[in-house]
A and B are shown apart, each in its own frame.
Chain A
Amino acid sequence: MEIGAYSFGDTQRNADGSLRSTTEAIQNLFAAIVHADAVGLDYFGVGEHHTATMPASSPGALIAAASAATNNIVLGSAASIISTDDPVRIFQQFATADAISGGGRIEITAGRGSSVETFPLFGYDLGEYDDLYTEKLDLLMSINNAGSETVSWSGTKRPNIDALAVVPRPVAGKLPLWIATGGNASSSARAGKLGLPVSYGIIGGEPHRFAPLAELYRRAGAAAGHAPETLKVSVAALGLVAPTKKEALERFYPGWHNLNVEMGKLRGWPAPDKRAYDAQAQAPGAYYVGSPDEVAERIVHLHGYMGHMRHFLQTDIGGIPQEHLLESISLLATEVKPRVERLLAHK
């Protein structure tokens, strides 16, 4: 089982609650990726977001930089919002990072985005939400599967490509391309049908309730003739690891609180409730907040339902201090991962 982390960027707060710079947030994120590689974490994902509190707008640029500064870690988007971007550009940026990395550790995860900021930002019509995603995924797959520098494609949401060069090609010929989903059943069926690995973002509720979706994904994949070993599942969730459960709860809460206050202002939610946090931060809740023992046990428990090959956590939300993020990453790599492997070996 691969253990990883992901981030949307996390702008630090001043003592009075005001936001520090988004520049610093990107520098912190870059430092966290380099640190994750140094301590042996398997995977780091950068999720495209376009807000002052979560400013990781450009996963391709960040991953290209990180690919030059790391040695072993797998780097990917988590996710790239392909509906409002140009798949040609996304592919070129990640293939470039792949070349710089030496090959074999750069991935793309295609998503729709859980919020809609990119539609007005890049001038797309929200009414075309489904069509844009479907067509741009088709183009991204066409380029990735082209097998040569020359690509042809036709569609309705973007000009046709008539035997034009899309360069560079990835070292291994193509890049791993994942589908991100928040749990809509038709997304799982689609990923299975296309034979693409699927990444579940489980940010609320009870994670084991996603089990039927993973089953649907595998059954849809098998029905379409895809080999079982190509049908991979990963799980992205919120969480923080600290030496003890008590420290983990205390360290994650302020960021969770800040994030919910900010989301609440946008979406008309009331002040966040500490009881809701406490309920979610323990089994069977959605947050993987705890000691290495507890987090490892919960990952293995979920594995019994999902059969996933990668579990990765978003820790830096709402201005979590950088040292707490870095320690959580260290513990994930050096304490959680060996426990997960031991527990899985004994199952």
Chain B
Amino acid sequence: MDNRDLAQGESQQTIGILGAGRVGTAIARLAVAAGYQVKVATSKAAAENELIIEIVTPGAIAVEALEAATADLVVVAIPLHKYKSLSAEALSGRTVIDAMNYWAATDGDIADFENTELSSSEVVAAYLSGSHVVKSFNHIGYHEMEPDAAVSGSPGRRALGVAGDDVGTKERVARFLDAVGFDSIDTGDLASGKFFEPGTQIFNGSFTSAEFSRVLKTGLVAV
């Protein structure tokens, strides 16, 4: 999808992406296609990532992690067990989309996430205590992101969940999702992210917004 007719205010925003793995690079390409200025960073120096960014996410720029953290909206897509390598200080006051999952069956046990009743994004948010953390993008496969992205109003457009404690922040994330190709469903506070974590029906499927809402309602009753 290439959607460059965004409202000026939205397209002038910068998107910071922390993590240049399969998820981070796919979101970066979507954001570039939607007209955002996209800055990608990893734990390595920007110079080491330049070739990767130039070829794999053309149009984005490689920056240092601290610079990516200053973007209007920051997507975190690093291996979850490294979440404490994020700078809570640099991300303080920022809107952070947590696209990560705690998925012990594939990634192994991580004590911080295993020995708690909290959802994985709540654990991340407790560490990023000054940030506005929103959970989204975690329940779509990286290889589905670009084929499934569609312009606003397309029939059967896929919906992604948005969980967070601040309504205004969630609205900003929803505008971003819409711009890159997805409907969104506000599932409630950050804790409600558990309804689309690994093992849930939403995590395992692909849903329009109407379908998503139906599944969510059933899930809420069941849990």
Note all chain A residues with C-beta closer than 8 A to B198. 267-268
The residue in A185, A213, A220, A223 that gathers the most chain B C-beta atoms within 10 A of its C-beta is A185
- Asked if B144 and A127 make an inter-chain contact with CB atoms under 8 angstroms apart, the answer reads no
Given contacts A126-B81, A126-B108, A186-B20, contact A268 B199 (CB under 8 A): yes
What is the CA–CA distance of A183 and B20 in the complex, to the nearest angstrom?
Answer: 11
**A residues less than 8 Å from B22 (CB atoms):** 182-185
Complex interface: stretch among B49-57, B128-136, B162-170: B49-57
Which of B4-12, B99-107, B152-160 lies at the interface with chain A?
Answer: B99-107
For the side of the interface on A, what is the size category? 20 to 34
- The distance in angstroms between the C-alpha atoms of A161 and B89, with both chains bound, is 43
Binds B, one of A7-15, A42-50, A204-212: A204-212
Residue pair A270, B51 in contact (C-beta under 8 Å): no
A205-B141 contact given A185-B20, A216-B56, CB 8 Å threshold: yes
Q: Is the CB of A209 within 8 A of B55?
A: no
At the interface, is chain A mostly helix, strand, loop or mixed? Answer: helix
Bound-state Cα–Cα, A12 to B81, Å: 36
Chain A, residues 211-236, CB within 8 Å of chain B (1/0): the string is 01101100110010000000000000
Is the Cβ of A205 less than 8 Å from the Cβ of B56? no
Q: Which residue of B lies closest to A203 (CB)?
A: B143
Dominant secondary structure of chain B at its interface with chain A: helix
In contact, A205 and B21 (Cβ under 8 angstroms): no
Which of B25, B142, B204 is the one whose CB lies under 8 Å from A269?
Answer: B204
Contact B105 A268 (CB under 8 A): yes
Instruction: For A270, give its contact among B141, B147, B201 (CB under 8 Å).
Output: B201
Interchain CB contact under 8 A, A220 and B56: no
Q: What is the CA–CA distance of A183 and B199 in the complex, to the nearest angstrom? A: 24
- Against A, the Cβ 8 Å flags (1 = close, 0 = not) of B194-223 are 000011110111000000000000000000
Whether A185 and B21, one on each chain, are in contact in the complex, defined by CB atoms closer than 8 angstroms, is yes
A219-B108 contact in complex given A204-B143, A205-B141, A206-B147, C-beta closer than 8 Å: no
Is A115 among interface residues, defined by CB-CB distance under 8 A? yes
Closest chain A residue to B53, Cβ basis:
A185
Cβ contacts under 8 Å, B108 to chain A: 116, 119, 126
Cβ contact within 8 Å between B81 and A127: yes
Chain A contacts with B in 91-128, Cβ cutoff 8 A: 115-116, 119, 126-127
Shortest C-beta distance, B45 to chain A (Å), equals 13
Minimum C-beta distance from A84 to chain B (A): 12
Which bucket holds chain B's interface residue count? 20 to 34
Given contacts A215-B55, A216-B56, contact A267 B147 (CB under 8 A): no
Whether, in the assembled complex, A151 has its beta carbon less than 8 Å from a beta carbon of chain B, the answer is no
* In the complex with contacts A185-B56, A189-B52, A116-B21 CB distance below 8 A: no
Give chain B nearest CB distance to A274 CB in angstroms.
15
B199 to A, closest residue via Cβ: A268
* Identity of the chain A residue whose Cβ is nearest the Cβ of B20 in the assembled complex: A185
**How far apart are B66's CB and chain A's nearest CB, in angstroms?**
20
The reply to whether A268 and B204 form a contact with Cβ atoms under 8 Å apart is yes
A-facing mask of B84-106, CB < 8 A → 1, else 0? 00000000000000000001011
- Whether a CB of chain A sits under 8 angstroms from the CB of B146 is yes
| B55: A residues at CB distance < 8 A | 212, 215-216, 219
Chain A residue nearest in CB terms to B111: A127
Return chain B residues, CB-CB under 8 Å to A189.
51-52
Give the Cβ gap from A120 to chain B, nearest Cβ, in Å.
8
Query: CA of A213 to CA of B55 in the docked complex: distance in angstroms?
Result: 8
Indicate if A345 sits at the interface (CB-CB under 8 A).
no
Closest Cβ of chain B to A30, distance in Å, is 30
Residues of A contacting B204 with CB < 8 Å?
268-270
List residues 220-259 of chain A with CB under 8 A from any CB of chain B.
Answer: 220, 223
When C-beta atoms are compared, the residue in chain B nearest to A213 turns out to be B56
Interface presence of A266 (CB below 8 A): yes
Which residue of chain B lies nearest to A266 when distances are taken between CB atoms in the complex? Answer: B105
- CB nearest to A216 among chain B residues: B55
The docked-state distance in angstroms from the alpha carbon of A126 to that of B104 is 11
Instruction: Write the chain A residue with the least CB distance to B108.
Output: A126
- Residues of A159-217 contacting chain B, CB below 8 A: 182-186, 189, 204-206, 209, 212-213, 215-216
A215 surroundings in chain B (CB, below 8 A):
55
Chain A CB within 10 Å, residue with most, of B52, B55, B205: B55
Q: Which of B52, B81, B144, B201 has the most chain A CB within a 10 Å cutoff?
A: B52
Closest residue on chain A to residue B198 by CB atoms: A268
A-B contact pairs, 27 of them (CB 8 A): A116-B106, A116-B107, A126-B107, A126-B108, A126-B109, A127-B81, A184-B21, A185-B20, A185-B22, A185-B25, A186-B20, A186-B42, A186-B52, A205-B147, A206-B143, A206-B147, A213-B56, A215-B55, A216-B55, A219-B51, A219-B55, A223-B51, A268-B105, A268-B198, A268-B200, A268-B204, A269-B204
Residues of chain A whose beta carbon lies under 8 Å from any beta carbon of chain B:
115-116, 119, 126-127, 129, 182-186, 189, 204-206, 209, 212-213, 215-216, 219-220, 223, 266-270
With A189-B52, A270-B201 known, 16 other A-B pairs at CB within 8 A are A126-B108, A185-B22, A185-B25, A186-B21, A186-B42, A204-B141, A205-B141, A205-B143, A212-B55, A215-B55, A216-B51, A266-B105, A267-B105, A268-B198, A268-B200, A268-B204
